[in-house]
Structure 1
Amino acid sequence: MQSAKELVRKELSHNLKDCADSSMPSTSEQPGSSTEQKKPGLLDFIKQRRPNTNLTASAVNILRMYLETDPQNEEAEITKAAESVGAFWSSNKHLAPLNTIALKYLAIPATSVPSERMFSKSGYVLSSRRSRLQADAVDQICFINQNYDLLETGKV
């Protein structure tokens, strides 16, 4: 099983790759443009040059920068971040690719359906057939049941 850092690094490099692929200009030709050849401009080579960056190294660097933020020196920012997540990400814009992952996994659902589903599952676990289960065991069973799809596919 992979560590949380490895899974975040993989997803971050995948997000960076998707972002780089979407920012590349399309090479499809428009009708009628094949007969007219445009002369290359003086600075056209800049548009054609693709940045040669290692996306895995970029993901590792972003993750390292996030993990190395020193909470003792930034207590005022952490207090603000506790009040507003937006304040944290606005003060740490250099970690923007990590923001998408944070929003994906740390966002509060807009509806109460997942929590209601969780209560009904825990009610089933605590049925009369399983009355000897301790509260910790019920919490663990419900957590595994809720996140089983993440464990099975290796996504986190």
Structure 2
Amino acid sequence: EGAIIMKQARELGATFVLMGADAMDNPDTLKIGGKAVEGFLHTTFPYDVNMEQMSAEAKTFTDAWKANFPDKDPNVNSALGYNCYNIIMDALTRAGKADTEALTAALAATKDLPTALGVLTINETHDAEMPVGIIKYIDGQRKYVGEAIAQ
């Protein structure tokens, strides 16, 4: 739907930069929107199989994925699943036992954990603090252009 909206906006004369959030991260954006998506920016989780300056954790994930699924590239959703597993395993290790209260406390105490999606900290309101990835459509290509970190 996002690509359709962009196409309609351009047909109506919109010349401004179109922006969106991670819900706009769709593999069919270019196919549906065509030239209308040129310059489009959207946020996403900070992972892309073609990203430059990939962290060691992201590279470990990418290499393991490609070894197991050589005919299919990983995407942000597969990296997110990998992250969830590793966050739980880290918390279980720090908790020292598979106990609900100990695990809950360990999860809440997660600080500066290196992950495939960047360094993760769980804050006092139990929100995950981590970088935000930025995608831009340039010359008919989807490109991971970097990340932003909230201050």
Q: Scaled by the length of structure 1, what TM-score is found?
A: 0.21
Q: Scaled by the length of structure 2, what TM-score is found?
A: 0.21
Larger RCO (CA within 8 A; separation ≥ 6)? 1
Q: Of the two, which has the highest radius of gyration?
A: 1
Structure with bigger helix share is: 1
